[in-house]
Amino acid sequence: MTRVLFGVLAVIVGVGGSALLFWALNWLVDRLPDGTADRLRPYAFAGPALLLVGLYLIYPALRSIRDSFYGDRSEEFVGLDNYRQLIEDPSLRSTLINNVLWVFLVPAFCLVFGLAIAVLADRLSGRWESISKSVIFMPMAISAVGASTIWLFVYNWRPAGREQIGLLNAIWTGVGNEPVSWLQVSDGRLNTLLLIIIMVWTMTGLAMVLLSAAIKGVPEDTIEAAQMDGATESQVFWRVVLPQIRSTITVVLTTIGIAVVKVFDIVFVMTGGNFDSDVIANRFVKELFDFRRFGQASAIVVFMMVIMIPIIVLNIRNFREQEALR
Amino acid sequence: MTVVDLGDEVLPAQAAATSDSPRRWLPGNLSSVVPVALLCILWLVPTVGLLISSFRQEDLVKGSGWWTALTSPFEGQWTLQNYTDVIESGLGTAFVNSFVLSIPATLIPIVAASFAAYAFAWMDFPGRQALFALLIALLVVPLYVALIPILRLYGNFDLTGTFVAVWLAHTAFAMPLAVYLIRNYVGSLPKSIIESALIDGASHFQIFWRLIMPLSTPIIAAFAILQFLWVWNDFLIALIFLGSDRENQIIQQALVRLIGDRGQEWHLLTAGGFVAMFVPLVVFFTLQRYFVRGLTAGAVKG
């Protein structure tokens, strides 16, 4: 009960405080001579937001780049040592292979499933269309930790002889196989692929929503014209609809791609990065918390920023094209 | 940075709008019903499995698959014990903490971003374009870069482990997307209403509260839902800035702790999962339209 009370109080103080800050800033500006007040007011309005991003994003980005050239406590300059260690670490290769798998497979599968649902559900009656879309979309609202909890019950393993409570092993043993501890099997990156399924499960809804809106935006007359010329339905889809939603497809791939580069929670919860299933974001958290090697951790972060650059460039180019079309 | 201009019409609204005129360029009806139904079942089964498990008795959860409950649904195996147990085991406190964390972390960014958006849209000042471009560029900075430097900064001020620390972090990380979304909306309001208000002697501060905020509710609602779910579902930032103190733990951390105990506490984990998902699911099912609108307008942030 006191906790709830404390909570309500904290909420009031936090929210009220921020509103009060702007009121006070505005009040202060009002005290100034007219000309000065007009010139300063925009900064009073935009200032807090800019100050926050400066402190929480710009400064840390620069600081991380600096720290990546310094030692564990960020005191002595070590040149490229952190990067050298990172590259020479034999387990890094395995981690990077996993990340490559994540970055390619998750967006690709989300695109395929999302497109399939967007196209097919469009054919259903309005009611069923929105129900089926809600079903696919629902995992977007669930946290990665919650999604992992759900999937732990799918991948659960019990030794042979005991009744399986995981769905996958129940099916697997049902057709006459020995139960498998799925998340510990790294052959063929099986465990990584199983974790990838979880993310595909959560992100397909996003792909579906974006693609569905784009498909509905395709001008009806282009489709009718093609049909008039005798195009089959699949020709209409591949040659008329798909080219017109190309920019949305790019957005879907890059959006999900950016989210995937940062994937952390699922791996942290499901395997902790063990059994060759590690990803870079999880390595970062390990370096930070388990080993307290700030130099190494910073190098990983800088590395992450660098591998995101191509995706970001692609996204920005696409964004510019869209803005130009407006 | 993802920006898709879809307007307001998405999901249910649009489904209803187009249902009268199904498009003819696609395969026949049955051939779309079957795959859609299959995909939906595939998507639902894992969640349904957890939901059913969460209402089964402890020994049953641990001893047999949830699907066995379907073959004998009336044999008195159902219970709410898992829920009461897990809430008493500390998940209740964590649930309250999640609200204490999420509400300000949703509202503070709205206030800060709206003021900034107003300034960028309707006030003229040197550096306006450049500063806005800088904000947009920051959309793509992964928030991982912030964790170590901010953790150290917090260390200097004894902020680590406090709610204020996490509110501020979430506010700052939300800023680029929030300012971008709200500015685009506020900027598209008719110039004449703001000018006539200025002529009538209203101050910018008054215009902001009395005119801009009420007119901008659609985009603010969309952003609010996005941000609330984001904060509620976040684990990483809480893990790093809130720390492992059990008293302050939020629901995601509590759930991860439960997962850590797995093997013994499967029955608690099932219920815990749903306690954690309860709020997002309610938000999702009641405010789906706004959620979709927010997502499509800006799907990605650091």
pLDDT per residue of chain A (326 residues) written in tens, 0 to 9: 677 888 888 888 888 998 899 999 999 999 999 888 889 999 999 999 999 999 999 999 999 999 999 988 888 898 898 899 888 888 888 898 999 999 999 999 999 999 999 999 888 877 888 889 999 999 988 999 999 999 999 999 988 888 888 999 999 999 989 999 999 998 889 999 999 999 999 999 999 988 998 898 889 899 999 989 998 888 999 999 999 998 889 888 888 888 888 899 999 999 998 999 999 999 999 988 888 888 999 999 888 888 878 777 776 676 666 656 65
CA distance B235 to B251: 9
Q: How far apart are CA B243 and CA B145, in angstroms?
A: 18
- ipTM of predicted complex: 0.88
Query: For A167, which residue in chain B has the nearest alpha carbon?
Result: B65
- Asked if the Cβ–Cβ distance from A126 to B302 is below 8 Å, we say no
Cβ partners under 8 Å of residue A82, min gap 6: A68, A69, A295, A296, A298, A299
| Binary contact (B36, A251; C-beta < 8 A) | no
Interface size between A and B, measured as CB pairs under 8 A = 367
Task: Please name the residue that has the structure tokens 């130009």.
Answer: A324
Tokens of B37: 């139904």
Q: What are the chain B neighbours of A30 within 8 Å (beta carbons)?
A: 203
Chain B environment of A302 (Cβ under 8 Å)? 145
Closest-CA residue in chain A for B298? A255
Question: Are the Cβ atoms of A58 and B61 closer than 8 angstroms?
Answer: no
Domains in chain B (CATH in brackets) are: 28-79 (no CATH), 80-297 (1.10.3720.10)
Instruction: Collect all residues of chain A within an 8 Å Cβ-Cβ radius of residue B252.
Output: 143, 145-146
* Chain B interface, best mutation among A8, A45, A303, by max B CB count within 10 A: A45
Phi-psi region of B28 (alpha: psi -120 to 50; beta: other; left: phi over 0): beta
Contact B104 A11 (CB under 8 A): yes
- 8 Å CB contact of B235 and A265: yes
Contact A42 B273 (CB under 8 A): no
Residues in B closer than 8 angstroms to A139, CB to CB, are 43, 47
Q: Judge: A210–B164 Cβ closer than 8 Å, yes or no.
A: no
For B65-77, how does the pLDDT look when each residue is reduced to its tens digit (9 = 90+)? 888 888 877 777 7
Asked if B204's CB is within 8 angstroms of A170's CB, the reply is no
Of B102, B289, B110, B62, the closest CA to residue B216 belongs to B110
Task: Please state, in angstroms and rounded to a whole number, the distance separating the CA atoms of residues A79 and A84.
Answer: 9
Residues of chain A in contact with residue B66, where contact means CB-CB under 8 angstroms, are 153, 165
CB-nearest partner of B236 from A133, A139, A264? A264
Q: Which of A19, A63, A212 sits opposite B149 (nearest CB)?
A: A63
Give me the residue label for tokens 């999640």: B98
* B4, B32, B123: residue with CB nearest A123: B32
The burial of A180, by beta-carbon neighbours within 10 Å (0-12 exposed, 13-18 middle, 19 or more buried), is given as middle
- pLDDT, chain B, mean: 83
Most B CBs within 10 Å: which of A145, A201, A206, A266, as the mutation test of the B interface? A145
